[in-house]
Amino acid sequence: MLIEIPQLLLPEEVTAVRGIIRAGAMVDGRVTAGELAAQAKHNLQLPEGSPAAREAGEIILRALGRNAAFNSAALPFRVLPPLFNRYDAGMKFGAHVDGAVRAIPGAGIRMRADLSSTLFLSAPQDYDGGELVIEDSYGEHAVKLPAGHMVLYPAGSLHRVNEVTRGSRWSSFFWTQSMIRDDGLRGLLYDLDRGIMDVRTSLNGDTRGTLSLTSVYHNLVRRAAEL
């Protein structure tokens, strides 16, 4: 399930996050990569847990909390604090799979990484290349979104970032542990939730039928959720 979350950040929030990143000191991105991923990774990154990363991350976490599309698609239980990277000309990240378990810094908690997110912070016209390419059973999907838009995809997907050939690509990335472990069931619940919302909108309110479907949705979540 690959889902675009449009306008997660407002334009002024994109500007604020970019300003925080610009003022921070970037380090070699390989510091947060596993042994195999480090061999394919060539980018810059804000240090995990740095004041700049925490400040910019809080803006994104607040935006996630108010975003209905993200909450419907991810059904989040835990969200790892967002990280931030930059790809300048000549930088890329070869094909890799994200680690299955991540540690939450300073919390003494580990979480299962069910979903990966990439939030674009650069306008597409500001750089060439730099597409996020995600592979699934239907082939490859190249993703390059406007600043403030985000893509959500299974963390177990093979993916890469193509080489940037001009300009600079800035983004945030993070992982989510969903209340629903099974990706297929999570996708069905997302489709059901979207269907209910569409019917409500077309009917300009609830009916006995939409209330029944809403009850089914929540009872399915109640039976499957892991908390």
Q: Enumerate domains of the chain plus CATH numbers.
A: 3-178 (2.60.120.620), 183-224 (4.10.860)
* Cα–Cα distance measured from residue 195 to residue 210, given in angstroms and rounded to the nearest whole number: 10
Beta bridge partners of residue 177, listed in sequence order = 78
Cβ-count burial of 70 within 10 angstroms (0-12 exposed, 13-18 middle, 19+ buried)?
A: buried
pLDDT in the model for residue 34? 56
Mean pLDDT of successive 10-residue stretches along the chain, which has 227 residues: 96 98 89 63 92 97 98 97 97 94 88 98 98 94 98 96 98 98 96 97 94 97 95
Q: Where are the beta strands (DSSP E) in 53-163?
A: 76-79, 83-88, 92-96, 101-104, 109-112, 115-120, 127-129, 132-136, 139-143, 150-154, 159-161
Tell me the β-bridge partners of 129. Answer: 164
The pLDDT, as a whole number, for residue 41 is 86
pLDDT at res. 37? 61
8 A C-beta contact, residue 104 and residue 111? yes
Asked whether 156 and 97 are in contact (CB, 8 A), the reply is yes
The pLDDT of residue 105? 83
